[in-house]
Structure 1
Amino acid sequence: MDATDHGRPAKERSMKIAIQFNGQTVEARPGTTILKLLETYPHPGKSAPLGAIVNNRLMGLYRVLRSDCTVQTIDYRSKEGANIYRRSLTMILCAAFSDLFPEVRLEIGQSLANGYYYHVTHGPALTETMLAAVEARMREIIAANRPLRPVLVTTEEAEEYFAKIGSEAKAMLLHQRRQPEVPWVVIGEFRDLVHGPLAPSTGVCQTFAILPKLPGFVLTFPDRIGRVLVALPSQPKLYAAYRDTRMWNEQLGIWSVGHLNRACIDGTISEIVKVSEGLQEKKIVAIADRIKAAGGEIRVVLVAGPSSSGKTTTTKRLAVQLMVNGIRPVALSMDNYYIDRADTPRNPDGSYNFESLEALDLDLFNSHLHDILEGKLVQMPMYDFVSGARRKDKTIPIQLQRDQVLIVEGIHGINPRLTEAAPAKAKFKLYVSALTQLCLDEHNRIFTSDARLLRRIVRDRLYRGYSAAQTIHQWPHVRAGENKHIFPYQEEADVLFDTSLVYEQAVLKPYLQRFLLEVDQRDPAYIEAYRLFNFLSWFIPIFSHEVPHTSILREFIGGSTFNY
């Protein structure tokens, strides 16, 4: 009898299921795990398998197979595999801290330099000696190759345990959960909730580094070819933007999903929404005041940032505050400077790369920018997105007066090549992004890019004629363009403005659940749709009538007082 047969009914042991396993058809008994199959049919490639795509759902290798299915094992080279590696290594880190410094309350923060930033909220201040000891303990846990097999426990048992050890965010989240059981993993005396597939054992998480950034530190992960950073890049403005957002969340008393859900339950969410929006508006007012204080030296305001960061609404709200200060803004749309679609650069798969700087007519734009700043009348072209070319029958006249500033919105606004014609002292560079600092709990963060992807899925489905599947398929190209053309310039901004709202996922949830359910299970986009759908299950929804009509969220769900 096969080792996997123990404990199964005789009828089940006699059955066989057909599995498309990494491209070949194999047979196995119902109840066989993916890990067991790998003993006979090894994972292709040199890297260790970390998880598997089973019928377009991401699963761990301990997954039990009970019926015919398609299985594709994955490793660190894939996005899904990298996320499994990071989640597993984070758990090992927390276990090491628990072993050595149980009095320390560790909390996860933002993504920095291909790693996660952590800080301590209770216990002694961190030292480099402590961090060296934690890294050594992590390597001991990894060398022991301990299994990371999730175990189902009752929700009540898990809630009681986390409340007892002072893990408020986990206990609160579980108290709001309506499922009878939840999975957790045990590493020695340490226990933690499982928010997604884990590596099969600690032994596969060999490559990492802990880099001090006191009062916290960064746990860095390898890149796709196994290299890790040995020193953190200088990103003071990005780090400060993250820190400010975290401070805002703590001021609101909402830094985890459990805290947000509690506000929905106890009726204080309306106040949370109002204060969140007020904090954002206060920051926009400060930016307008800074431009005013320059005494007319600033002639062009450049608003840049990645997709779905809320650039358009930020620009419109900033324009209002500039007018309050007696400055009349004039908008110049970068969309009108696209080259003809036939000449647009393409991605490796043949699709158009609209995120490329070369998709814009830089020579024409700089020529117009120079003339506008000289006070000359310029005829701005109008781009027709249907035909993919500029209109030949119409232009837009622009001439800048002395009490006016030019506002240019576009993803490349901070790239020096875009505005070579403008003197440095005449430019104010505003970088806009959604740098969410809301966490699931103390040790599990929300991916920063997910905040923008969720916004884009809703907007594309409601107003741009794209399904959730189409948006998900396009997202890797968008992200690649951002990494190449946008993120390298963010530290050159005069101000980094975070548009994330602590409550936004709860507002987007009803829209997203509907739109994600429209993704066909056979579509490769279903892998991501399935992950996002499960992630949203932790949120209690907030009704859209709570959202002010000037909110950045209205750019994505509709109902804004601004015209787009």
Structure 2
Amino acid sequence: MVYIMEVVPGKTVREMAREAQKHFDSEIVAVELDHEIRDLQSEIGQAAQIEFIPLNSQPGWQVYQRSVVFLLITAVHELYPSAEVIAQFSANKGLFCEIRLPDRELDEATVHCIEARMRRIISENRPIRKESLSREMAVRLFKESKQIEKANLIAALEQPTVSIYRCGDFYDYLYGAMLPETRGLDRFALDFEAPGILLRTPDMGTDGAVRERIPQPKLSHILSESKRWAQILHCNYVTDLNRANRNGQIGDIIRVSEALQEKRIAQIADHIAAERKMLRLILIAGPSSSGKTSFAQRLRIQLRVNGLEPVSISLDDFFRPRVETPRNEKGEYDYECLGALDTDLFNQDMVDLLAGREVILPRYNFITGEREWQTDAPLAVNENQPIIVEGIHGLNEALSQAVPRDRKYKIYISALTQLNIDAHNRIPTTDARLMRRLVRDYQFRGAHALKTLRQWPDVREGEEKNIFPFQEEADVMFNSALIYELGILKKYAKPLLEKIPPEVPEHAKARRLLDFCTYFDDIQAENEVPNNSLLREFIGKSVFFQ
């Protein structure tokens, strides 16, 4: 539900939210002032209209989770003043946070103590106060508390004032709105997961219930690998990247980042080559803008280094005729559902190819919505020719069920950002992928940023249905994120986002991404990015794309 009011002179945001509450089934937790998300403690300023954000909405639950994270950090600070909390990544349907204690290892008993302190703070209903400080004062405050990276981050901002949040005697700088008090923050679960904890909260998919813990060991492994890569590069936080850029070391960061990816691709190819008699069908899947196509091309090259002659087949050519395509709830053709593909034909063709039989493959004509048959180019493969198939349903066993599982090798590609803004503020993977897509769609698909932003919720919904539920089916995962990429994408994305007019709903997301860009220095050394880089798929001059 959307409920918008004109700003009433003389009234505060909280007063207007209390008046609007009767129109909502769940508590109002934040607002949009002229399409910019703000917390309930914000000044109205020159805003002309106010839109209310209820808890039971995607931005509402994000405000809630951020507030619970702040509650966690506050509780740890009160119990163990010298401890460090690092919000690292989303895994196992929760947020993994490392907790570094100065004198011992974290254990389950300590986690129980932290949870008990969190619930005590909730029962006290402490205020979470927002305070505006000059940039210089905020820098001094965080240096005194030995939060050096946070102090360096704020020092580099161009704005004269910054907002911090305070709960008791603990304060923090957080990227986004929070609730004004601890009351109601009791919907969470805290699990010991060495060397840290897993914090689970509700979200849009759970109807207000705490998200159930689902072990995702493969995803956890690749996320841990990403953190190791960040340590190799001495680049855990945005300030580290900016420092390397200013000191003329960014070329080395780029080269080592690319070498880490190339080594990983080579390892995957070596494994396939070692099992060449069994692993005949290579299935590659991943969410939007994860770099699947470039990865597939680089894997093909590494397989050739191993003496194999891979053959690439596009899943798009197995689309059903348009008139047979299922429609979504909006009545539009749903090309992202598995039913849009002729899985019977795909399975028959794969079985025949792997048996050494010749096959005439279809080619889908996107203009006519019909299949065409490549009668002049029949295909047959031998045991030295693995088949590479790239598409969003590659991990779903229903796509290729006629091919025995031990003949298939499934690869999941995602862009799992290694960088944090600072210890308490993560860079969401979805934001990084959205930045990639904004740049690529404008440069190569003729789509302006507004169109991309409007499509993004539908893209994300499709990923939640068709990709993420199957990611643990992968035999191996590959992280396509490059630690330096946002410093290069910024200069492409920023002018596109600045053109989003303030009167459209997408302005709030554009504004948030623009604010996000301010943390990154521009990286001018684009010529250092090799022409086979996954990043070139989005910024151009890739050897794999015309």
Aligned match of 2:8 in 21, 28, 31? Answer: 28
Deviations 1:130-156 (A, max 9, x none): 111111211222222233332111222
- State whether structure 2 residue 210 is matched by structure 1 residue 228: yes
> Which structure 2 segments of 5+ residues have no match?
none
Aligned match of 1:471 in 446, 452, 465? Answer: 452
3-state SS in 2 of match to 1:52: strand
Deviations 1:154-204 (A, max 9, x none): 222222222232223212212322222211011111110031111122213
Q: Counterpart of 2:33?
A: 54
- State whether structure 2 residue 50 is matched by structure 1 residue 71: yes
- State whether structure 2 residue 182 is matched by structure 1 residue 202: yes
Q: Counterpart of 1:84?
A: 63
Residue correspondence of structure 1 range 402-441 to structure 2 within 5 A: 402-441=383-422
Query: Is the CA contact (8 Å cut-off) linking 2:131 and 2:163 kept in structure 1?
Result: yes
Deviations 1:415-468 (A, max 9, x none): 101111212221111111111121110011111211211111111111112221
CA distance in 2, matches of 1:236, 1:295: 26
Query: Is the CA contact (8 Å cut-off) linking 2:67 and 2:179 kept in structure 1?
Result: yes
- State whether structure 2 residue 128 is matched by structure 1 residue 148: yes
Amino acid at match of 1:561: V
Aligned match of 2:172 in 157, 171, 192? Answer: 192
Amino acid at match of 1:379: I
Displacement of 1:43: 4.9
CA distance in 2, matches of 1:388, 1:166: 61
- State whether structure 2 residue 197 is matched by structure 1 residue 211: no
3-state SS in 2 of match to 1:307: coil
Query: Is the CA contact (8 Å cut-off) linking 2:285 and 2:391 kept in structure 1?
Result: yes
CA distance in 1, matches of 2:508, 2:17: 22
Q: Counterpart of 1:13?
A: none
Displacement of 1:76: 2.2
- State whether structure 2 residue 529 is matched by structure 1 residue 536: no
Displacement of 1:22: 2.8
Query: Is the CA contact (8 Å cut-off) linking 1:172 and 1:259 kept in structure 2?
Result: no
CA distance in 2, matches of 1:130, 1:393: 65
CA distance in 1, matches of 2:493, 2:531: 20
Using a 3 Å threshold, how does the CA distance of structure 1 residues 432 and 135 change in structure 2: closer, same or farther? same
Query: Is the CA contact (8 Å cut-off) linking 1:131 and 1:212 kept in structure 2?
Result: yes
Query: Is the CA contact (8 Å cut-off) linking 2:281 and 2:386 kept in structure 1?
Result: yes
3-state SS in 1 of match to 2:433: helix
Q: Counterpart of 1:299?
A: 280
Deviations 1:497-554 (A, max 9, x none): 1111111111100111011122222222222111111111111111322311111000
- More displaced 10-residue stretch of structure 1: 425-434 or 295-304: 295-304
3-state SS in 2 of match to 1:108: strand
Displacement of 1:49: 0.9
Q: Counterpart of 1:556?
A: 538
Residue correspondence of structure 1 range 325-474 to structure 2 within 5 A: 325-391=306-372, 396-474=377-455
> Which structure 1 segments of 5+ residues have no match?
1-20
Q: Counterpart of 1:183?
A: 163
Using a 3 Å threshold, how does the CA distance of structure 1 residues 325 and 41 change in structure 2: closer, same or farther? closer
Amino acid at match of 2:303: L
CA distance in 1, matches of 2:360, 2:315: 14
CA distance in 1, matches of 2:174, 2:41: 13
Q: Percent identity?
A: 39
Using a 3 Å threshold, how does the CA distance of structure 1 residues 520 and 348 change in structure 2: closer, same or farther? farther
Displacement of 1:380: 1.4
Using a 3 Å threshold, how does the CA distance of structure 1 residues 68 and 223 change in structure 2: closer, same or farther? closer
CA distance in 1, matches of 2:267, 2:88: 26
Displacement of 1:41: 3.6
Residue correspondence of structure 1 range 121-136 to structure 2 within 5 A: 121-123=100-102, 124-136=104-116
Query: Is the CA contact (8 Å cut-off) linking 1:108 and 1:117 kept in structure 2?
Result: yes
Query: Is the CA contact (8 Å cut-off) linking 1:111 and 1:448 kept in structure 2?
Result: no
Amino acid at match of 1:146: R
- State whether structure 2 residue 546 is matched by structure 1 residue 546: no
- More displaced 10-residue stretch of structure 1: 250-259 or 219-228: 219-228
CA distance in 2, matches of 1:361, 1:468: 33
CA distance in 2, matches of 1:178, 1:362: 54
CA distance in 1, matches of 2:22, 2:428: 28
- More displaced 10-residue stretch of structure 1: 165-174 or 344-353: 344-353
3-state SS in 2 of match to 1:211: strand
Amino acid at match of 1:277: E
- State whether structure 2 residue 286 is matched by structure 1 residue 313: no
Alignment coverage as a number of residue pairs: 541
Aligned match of 1:111 in 77, 90, 103? Answer: 90
- State whether structure 2 residue 265 is matched by structure 1 residue 284: yes
CA distance in 1, matches of 2:483, 2:164: 27
Query: Is the CA contact (8 Å cut-off) linking 1:288 and 1:321 kept in structure 2?
Result: yes
Deviations 1:183-240 (A, max 9, x none): 101111111003111112221323111111122111111133221146x322111100
CA distance in 2, matches of 1:42, 1:423: 56
CA distance in 2, matches of 1:353, 1:162: 50
CA distance in 1, matches of 2:455, 2:431: 14
CA distance in 2, matches of 1:398, 1:168: 60
Using a 3 Å threshold, how does the CA distance of structure 1 residues 394 and 514 change in structure 2: closer, same or farther? farther
CA distance in 1, matches of 2:95, 2:478: 21
Aligned match of 1:174 in 130, 151, 154? Answer: 154
3-state SS in 1 of match to 2:28: coil
Amino acid at match of 2:210: V
- More displaced 10-residue stretch of structure 1: 149-158 or 403-412: 149-158
Q: Counterpart of 2:242?
A: 261
Using a 3 Å threshold, how does the CA distance of structure 1 residues 342 and 460 change in structure 2: closer, same or farther? farther
- TM-score when scaled to structure 1? 0.92
Displacement of 1:24: 5.3
Query: Is the CA contact (8 Å cut-off) linking 2:5 and 2:50 kept in structure 1?
Result: no
Q: Counterpart of 2:19?
A: 40
Amino acid at match of 1:367: Q
Using a 3 Å threshold, how does the CA distance of structure 1 residues 40 and 488 change in structure 2: closer, same or farther? closer
CA distance in 1, matches of 2:257, 2:304: 23
CA distance in 2, matches of 1:233, 1:65: 42
- TM-score when scaled to structure 2? 0.95
CA distance in 2, matches of 1:104, 1:462: 46
Q: Counterpart of 2:490?
A: 509
Using a 3 Å threshold, how does the CA distance of structure 1 residues 353 and 43 change in structure 2: closer, same or farther? farther
Q: Counterpart of 2:465?
A: 484
3-state SS in 2 of match to 1:412: coil
CA distance in 2, matches of 1:262, 1:61: 35
CA distance in 2, matches of 1:75, 1:108: 25
Displacement of 1:244: 0.4
Displacement of 1:114: 3.4
Query: Is the CA contact (8 Å cut-off) linking 1:436 and 1:451 kept in structure 2?
Result: yes
Q: Counterpart of 2:221?
A: 240
- State whether structure 2 residue 142 is matched by structure 1 residue 162: yes
Displacement of 1:320: 0.5
CA distance in 2, matches of 1:555, 1:396: 29
Deviations 1:9-36 (A, max 9, x none): xxxxxxxxxxxx93456x7324x32102
3-state SS in 1 of match to 2:328: coil
